[in-house]
Amino acid sequence: MAEIVKENLTDREYKYGFETIIETDQFPMGLSEDVVNKIADKRNDPQFVRDFRLKAYRHWLTLKEPTWADVRYPKIDFQGIRYYSAPKSKPDGATGPASLADIDPELIETFNKLGIPLGEQKRLTGVAIDVVFDSVSVGTSHQEELAAAGVIFCSLTEAIQKHPEIVEKHLGKIVPYKDNYYAALNSAVFTDGSFVYIPKGVRCPLDLSTYFRINAKETGQFERTLIVAEAGSYVSYLEGCTAPMRDENQLHAAVVELITFDDAEIKYSTVQNWYSGDKDGRGGIYNFVTKRGLCQGTNSKISWTQVESGSSITWKYPSVILQGDNSSGEFYSVALTNHRMQADTGTKMVHIGKNTSSRIISKGISCDQSRNTYRGQVKILPSAESARNYSQCDSMLVGDQCTANTHPYLEVKNKSAIVEHEATTSKISGDHIFYMKSRGVDEEGAVSLLLHGFCKEVFKTLPLEFSIEAVKLLEMKLEGSVG
């Protein structure tokens, strides 16, 4: 009996840990120029994409793995990873299924398990969804409604085929392939991802959402997201991620590029819950992601919100380049680490235009033996007249084995700028819990209340359904850590 109870509890730790057995179309392990070419063949890439991949691959060969982040892990064997894995579709569809009806029912079942029904019932929640399973995008809902508004929301593969002119204009412009080691790797082998184009003056009628899942063994996921918001447009985009439980580590190296023109706004929210490894740190996803937004137009705005609760290692700095005058960037983050997870995450705000402003709110919660590091850079260039930045980083330590670090980098080259940074550290102690218990709140409720209070500023920026999911996720992760 005790065994069963224990098993149930273990299951609760990561309920998305199942694996879906479906037929997949995979490449053998390893990376070479040949593999890059084969990926290009497979995806029927136009010449500019193929050139981009090859340039990136050749550049990647000259780079060394970065070591400056405050994370420790054994060296990654880049030849031990499968760079392409796709659910097998009908023989005629080399570029992925044409419609929802073509998708393997097994796969649909998987997404239902994850709580993402792709079908009609989604219309009620008003979220259009694109799903990326291992390497390819498997289906996008609500296409008609979006098309009526002129919004293009599809997989990157489809976009490359149908709208090559837009993709060519922006792909690799915000995160060039030379940017860093993992961006170069991604540029060489990216297999799919989402593409969003909001035309001039359009306010996207739905919240757009992408769901990423790594399923197959020994695969890496290298997706690439590109969002273009033309002048005066607005879009809110959500992203969620899970992966099965495995003993070995899997690599996830994604690139996200956002660009906003005059008066446009992109709101990008992530709830990241990749498998984080077991109690002893076995397995889990290495999440090495490059996310960057460019506020090119005046009065434009990019806002990142992230809830990081998974991955055995997170190495992620969603940043904003504030080029247009009066543009603004925001970064709201809750990063929770438990067991032996390591997170080195933060942001970069580069102020170039006049009157640009940025706001950074980062909340780190570390439990057990995990390491949680905030690393953020605020750079005010001489041209950024009257720039304004406010950063606040709070850490909460749960237990006495964990680590919380704060590394802000403030670089100011203009006297009219005002830059402020504040950081505090606190803990959930037995005293807090006792106080609330004495007022009739049970232990779970007490922890939940404290969490709510700590993360309120970030959660209130999340879309409603995500905000509820995020709180549940954190509560689940913290179970058993506090006392």
Interface residues with another protein (CB under 8 A) are: 68, 382, 395, 397-425, 427, 429
Pairwise CA distance, residues 168 & 51, whole Å: 11
In whole angstroms, how close is the CB of 341 to another protein at the nearest point?
15
Pairwise CA distance, residues 87 & 134, whole Å: 8
Pairwise CA distance, residues 351 & 414, whole Å: 10
Query: Toward another protein, which CB reaches closer, 58 or 421?
Result: 421
**356-375 in b/e burial notation, b at 16+ Cβ within 10 A?**
bbbbbbbbbbbbbbbbbbbb
Q: Is 215 left (phi over 0), alpha (psi -120 to 50) or beta?
A: alpha
Query: Toward another protein, which CB reaches closer, 44 or 416?
Result: 416
Residue 251 contacts residue 219 (beta carbons within 8 Å):
no
Pairwise CA distance, residues 441 & 435, whole Å: 9
Pairwise CA distance, residues 57 & 426, whole Å: 45
Query: Toward another protein, which CB reaches closer, 77 or 422?
Result: 422
User: Crossing angle for the helix pair 443-459 and 430-437, nearest 10 degrees?
Assistant: 110
Query: Toward another protein, which CB reaches closer, 259 or 350?
Result: 350
In whole angstroms, how close is the CB of 419 to another protein at the nearest point?
4
Beta bridge partners of 403: 371
Query: Toward another protein, which CB reaches closer, 100 or 410?
Result: 410
User: Where are the extended beta strands (E) located within 368-439?
Assistant: 371-380, 388-398, 403-412, 418-427
In whole angstroms, how close is the CB of 334 to another protein at the nearest point?
18
Residue 248 contacts residue 242 (beta carbons within 8 Å):
no
Residue 174 contacts residue 293 (beta carbons within 8 Å):
yes
Q: Residue 252's Cα: distance from chain center in Å? A: 10
In whole angstroms, how close is the CB of 88 to another protein at the nearest point?
47
In whole angstroms, how close is the CB of 200 to another protein at the nearest point?
36
In whole angstroms, how close is the CB of 404 to another protein at the nearest point?
5
Query: Toward another protein, which CB reaches closer, 18 or 390?
Result: 390
In whole angstroms, how close is the CB of 333 to another protein at the nearest point?
17
In whole angstroms, how close is the CB of 453 to another protein at the nearest point?
18
Query: Toward another protein, which CB reaches closer, 44 or 426?
Result: 426
Residue 423 contacts residue 408 (beta carbons within 8 Å):
yes
Query: Toward another protein, which CB reaches closer, 143 or 414?
Result: 414
User: Crossing angle for the helix pair 181-189 and 47-62, nearest 10 degrees?
Assistant: 150
